[in-house]
Amino acid sequence: MTEVDPSAGMINEYQSVPKGEPSEALKAILKEEAVNVQKKKLLYMLVQLVIMFILKVFVGSKSKKSAIGLEPCSAGFWVLSWLYIPVCLVSSLFLGRQVLR
């Protein structure tokens, strides 16, 4: 359990952090996180959304025809339908790693 030092107004475990100038990496993170709209993260989410949208348009649905002419329940329909899951997983993992950098 962490104790609070009332005279310092902070948690004891943080008092051991060395004082001084923050590193360049920390300065870059602070600069990026200081804005209200993080354009890089929004761009990655938009790319993910576009990838999912394009796959769904190619596959089509009961009420909407496929953009590339696939017939419902054809081999191409099922390949693209099942391909949707790994493509979304791989792109999510890749773009997620980019966001965390």
Rounded CA gap, 74 and 78, in Å?
A: 6
Q: How many domains is the chain built from? A: 1
Structure confidence by residue, pLDDT tens digits, 24-78: 888 887 887 787 877 888 888 898 889 889 888 888 877 888 888 888 888 988 8
Is the pTM above the cut of 0.75? no
C-alpha of 88 from chain center: 11
Domain extent, residue 33, equals 4-100
pLDDT digit string (tens) for 16-38?
556 677 788 888 878 877 878 77
Which pLDDT value is given to residue 27? 82
User: What distance in Å separates the CA atoms of residue 99 and residue 47, rounded to the nearest whole number?
Assistant: 12
- pLDDT of res. 44: 83
Tokens of 61: 């649905």
